[in-house]
């Protein structure tokens, strides 16, 4: 099946540091999505990527759709305490969406 | 508030019991999706309904069932509960059947604890 491998599982960083996380798969996807989930809430869409090679930014967040269509990364620059949460990648293929296991981000002030 | 309402927020029940989780989609959305999130896991797709009809099935156990009512709210029924069913259950809604996932709006989830 189309499994997504997301890494790292968790990150503990200092406020102001940059963060990088990625998702890989053995299968290709048509789109890549990055979601953030805060405690007690459902996932909220951060960035959507529509085609291979695409690089998209949303404020301090930047994500790229890998050329092979089998991977994607998310970078967060100059982290702040409210960046804390679990970040999920998701890939879609023929309207089927699969999620990675998430990266739990902790930011120390 | 995302517009997708899930109740209850928390549920604690014993093994072997049966529970019903409820989801009201965002106003105007016809599709409802159910996901299960176990501890430290991603979201596993369970089932999708569109305008009252089942449209897609994921890794949903036979002990689980769902339905979508004429008013478009949906219920997920979990029976013969086991300890391993403890998880967060999310509902998401979107406007159309073949909607891109960009159109999904998630609720806040129901945390089920089976003891």
Residue B58 in 3-state DSSP?
Answer: coil
Contact B85, B113 (CB under 8 A): no
Give B22-65 pLDDT, tens digit per residue.
999 999 899 999 999 987 677 899 999 999 999 989 889 999 99
Percent of chain A with pLDDT over 90: 81
For residue B101, what pLDDT is reported? 66
Read off the pLDDT of each residue in A68-88 and give the average, rounded to a whole number. Answer: 96
For residue A54, what pLDDT is reported? 94
User: Any residues with CB less than 8 A from the CB of B69 and at least 6 apart, and which?
Assistant: B52, B75
Q: How far is A15 from chain B (nearest CA, A)?
A: 24
Give B92-107 pLDDT, tens digit per residue.
998 876 666 677 889 9
CB-based contact, B51 to chain A, within 8 Å: no
Of A95, A74, A18, residue with least CA distance to B102: A95
Other C-beta atoms lying within 10 Å of the C-beta of residue B52: 14
CB-based contact, A50 to chain B, within 8 Å: no
CB contact under 8 A, B44 and A99: yes
Cis peptide before B73 (omega within 30 of 0): no
Distance (Å, whole) CA A55 – CA A66: 9
Distance (Å, whole) CA B65 – CA B83: 18
Distance (Å, whole) CA A8 – CA B23: 32
For residue A39, what pLDDT is reported? 84
Who has greater pLDDT, A94 or A77?
A77
CB contact under 8 A, B43 and A45: no
Interface test with B, best of A42, A46, A85, A86 (most B CBs within 10 A): A42
């Amino acid at each position: 099946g189309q499994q997504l491998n997301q890494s790292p599982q968790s990150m503990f960083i200092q406020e102001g540091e940059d963060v990088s996380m990625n998702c890989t798969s053995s299968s290709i996807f048509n789109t890549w999505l990055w979601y953030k989930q805060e405690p007690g809430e459902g996932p909220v869409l951060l960035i959507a990527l529509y085609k291979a090679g695409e690089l998209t930014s949303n404020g301090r967040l930047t994500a790229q759709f890998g050329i092979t269509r089998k991977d994607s990364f998310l970078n967060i620059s100059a982290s702040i305490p409210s960046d804390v949460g679990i970040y999920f990648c998701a890939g879609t293929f023929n309207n089927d969406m699969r999620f990675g296991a998430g990266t739990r981000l902790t930011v120390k002030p | 508030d995302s517009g997708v309402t899930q109740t209850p927020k928390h549920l604690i029940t014993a093994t072997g019991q049966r529970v019903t989780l409820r989801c009201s989609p965002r106003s105007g959305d016809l599709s409802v999706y159910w996901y299960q999130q176990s501890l430290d896991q991603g979201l596993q797709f369970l089932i999708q309904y569109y305008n009252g009809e089942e449209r897609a099935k994921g890794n949903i156990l036979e002990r689980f069932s769902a339905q979508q009512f004429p008013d478009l709210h949906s219920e997920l029924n979990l029976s013969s509960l086991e300890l391993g069913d403890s998880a967060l259950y999310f509902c998401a809604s979107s406007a159309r059947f073949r909607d891109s996932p960009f159109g999904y709006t998630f609720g806040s989830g129901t945390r089920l604890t089976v003891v």
